[in-house]
Structure 1
Amino acid sequence: MTLLHTPRPQWLTFDCYGTLIQWDEGLQAVFAEILQRKNAPQIDAARLIALHDRHEHALEQTPPHRSFREVSGTALQLALAELGLRGDAEDANRLTERIGQMPPFPEVVAALQQLKARGFRLCIISNTDDGIIAGNVAQLGGTIDRVITAQQGGAYKPSRQLFDYAHTQLQVAKEDVVHICASPHLDHAAARDMGFRCVWIDRGRRSPLPDYTPDATLPTLAGVPALFDTLGW
Structure 2
Amino acid sequence: MTLAGPKPTWLTFDCYGTLIQWDEGLLAAMGQILSAKGGDIDQRSFIAVYDRHEHALEEERPHRTFAQVSALALERAMVDFGLPFDPADAEIVTSSIGKMPPFPEVVATLEALKATGFRLAIISNTDDAIIAGNVAQLGGYVDRVITAEQAGAYKPSSQIFHHAWKSLGIGINDLVHICASPHLDLAAARELRFRTIWVDRGTGRQPLPDYRPNEIVAALDKVPAVLAATEWK
User: Which of 80, 83, 89 does residue 78 from structure 2 map onto?
Assistant: 80
Which secondary structure state, in structure 1, belongs to the residue aligned with residue 120 of structure 2? strand
1:200-215 pair list within 5 angstroms: 200-205=198-203, 206-215=205-214
Residue matched to 1:101: 99
1:229 is the counterpart of 2:225: no
Question: What does residue 155 of structure 2 align with?
Answer: 157
Q: For the residues of structure 2 that align with 1:228 and 1:188, how far apart are their CA atoms? A: 19
Alignment partners' CA distance in 1, 2:228 and 2:83: 52
What SS class does the counterpart of residue 199 from structure 1 fall into? strand
How many percent identity over aligned positions?
61
Q: How does 1:176-195 map to 2 (within 5 A)?
A: 176-195=174-193
Deviation at 1:209, TM superposition (A): 0.4
- Residues 1-233 of structure 1 aligned to structure 2 (within 5 Å): 1-4=1-4, 6-40=5-39, 42-205=40-203, 206-231=205-230
Task: Give the CA deviation at 1:152.
Answer: 0.1
SS at match of 2:38: coil
Describe the SS at the equivalent of 1:147: strand
Q: Give the 3-state SS of the residue equivalent to 1:101 in structure 2.
A: coil
RMSD: 0.8
Runs of at least 4 residues of structure 1 off by over 4 A?
none
Gaps of 5+ in 2: none
Distance 1:208 1:226 in 2: 22
In the alignment, residue 26 of structure 2 is paired with which amino acid?
L
Listed as ranges, the gaps of 5+ residues in structure 1 are none
Query: What code does the residue aligned with 2:93 have?
Result: L
> What letter corresponds to residue 19 of structure 1 in structure 2?
T
CA offsets 1:83-125 (integer angstroms, 9 cap, x no match): 1001111000010000111000000000000001111100000
Distance 1:180 1:87 in 2: 36
SS of aligned partner of 1:125 = strand
Report the TM-score, using the length of structure 2 for normalisation: 0.98
The separation in 2 between residues aligned to 1:8 and 1:140, in whole angstroms, is 24
